Amino acid sequence: MSRVWNFSAGPAAMPQEVLDRAQREMLEWNGSGSSVMEQSHRGKRFVEMAAQTEADLRTLMGISADYAVLFLQGGATQLFAQIPMNLAAEGDSADYIDTGHWSSKAISEASPYLHVNVAASAKADDYRRIPTRDNWQLDPGAAYVHYTPNETIHGVEFHEVPDVGTVPLVADMSSSILSEPLDVSRFGLIYAGAQKNIGPSGLVVMIIRRDLLERAGRPMAKIFRFAEQAANDSMLNTPNTWGWYLAGLTFQWLHALGGLSVMAERNRAKAELLYSTIDGSSGYYRNPIDVPARSRMNVPFTLHDSALDATFLKEAETAGLLALKGHKAVGGMRASLYNAVPLEAVQVLTAFMRDFAKQHG
């Protein structure tokens, strides 16, 4: 078997070391005589593993006791509706920053539950930049401010945490969590689908300030209420045990590498190599995003002639470079450079891009 270089936007590449360990432990986990997927989530082994996974994440991100850490079923899209249901009461409003496909979708899904104030938007600029903070029209009485630090599809990223005063800041970090050190204390709530930088799909990691759990929110079933999940250690119902286990292995892998400062340097090197290849191609390849807003995690690019797109993708796949087709909303190409994508993969990709330009220029 020969593994390819995987640039998928999600579900995305996972660390080889994590997959190797999961393979070794598939039939015999932790001396139990069965796999982790066959264990009761109430059993001693699983409960200990879950507690250690949370502890490892707290250490990696510097999460204080003021925050609860939840491991929830589903995906971040489900949270687009659950967040206003939990954090806002009838008649409340919330501020949203519109920087791309996913923040726009969050706005749409929140709208049935509260008044959405789009405090800033880059839609008029085709989501090629981040709206300058000075121009945001924030409401000091908002229930919260929601933003998407990294837009997976459009390839824009906030490189600083925005100051929103005392209003709780809520962030969809699905595609940037664990990619660099983060001051968690700046946030009221952080949530992330696992399938980009944490593990397999079907799991969401949430970090929520405990005082926000006390908000009454809207009438809803217990399964949707964050406070109920926190009170039951994310086991109000049977959790995604496989995803939780793999998240734990990923956190251990990050610790072994040296933590998030080391990962930040790795991610910086990968992004710089790809962007320098695009910018140095004399227009053969182009990235449409304003340079200060370029994403480290997701790099969209186009060829000078879109008629070559199919040839590029076919030859790339033959070369062992997988999932480079851009999202249908923007077209072109996209390379996702999440934590598990090694520098060697980007070196192979950029060498291929230079060779392709020579052969088809």
Q: What is the CA radius of gyration of the chain?
A: 21
CA distance 153 to 231: 35
- According to DSSP, the residues that pair with 98 across neighbouring strands are 121
Would strands 169-172 and 145-147 be described as parallel, antiparallel, or unpaired? parallel
Q: Could you give the CA distance from residue 18 to residue 14 in angstroms, rounded to a whole number?
A: 7
Annotated active-site residue 136? The verdict is no
Residue of 29, 92, 172, 325 marked catalytic? 172
Distance separating alpha carbons of residues 63 and 210, to the nearest angstrom: 12
Question: Which of the residues 29, 56, 196, 244 is marked catalytic?
Answer: 196
- Give the single-character DSSP code of 161: P
Identify which of 144, 195, 193, 191 has the alpha carbon closest to the alpha carbon of residue 165. 144
Rounded CA separation 12/195 (Å):
6
**Catalytic residue selected from 5, 29, 102, 244:** 102
Measured in whole angstroms, how far is the alpha carbon of residue 83 from the centre of its chain? Answer: 17
Euclidean distance between CA atoms 227 and 249, whole angstroms = 27
Which residues 6+ apart lie within 8 Å of 73 measured at CB?
202, 203, 204, 237, 239, 240
Give every CB contact of residue 254 below 8 A, 6+ residues apart in sequence: 60, 178, 260, 263, 339
Say how far apart CA 329 and CA 269 lie, in whole Å. Answer: 28
Strand duo 298-303 + 285-286: pairing: antiparallel
Q: CB–CB of 312/303 below 8 Å?
A: yes
Place of tokens 């432990």: 25
Say whether the peptide bond before residue 288 is cis (omega within 30 degrees of 0).
Answer: no
Active-site residue list? 102, 172, 196
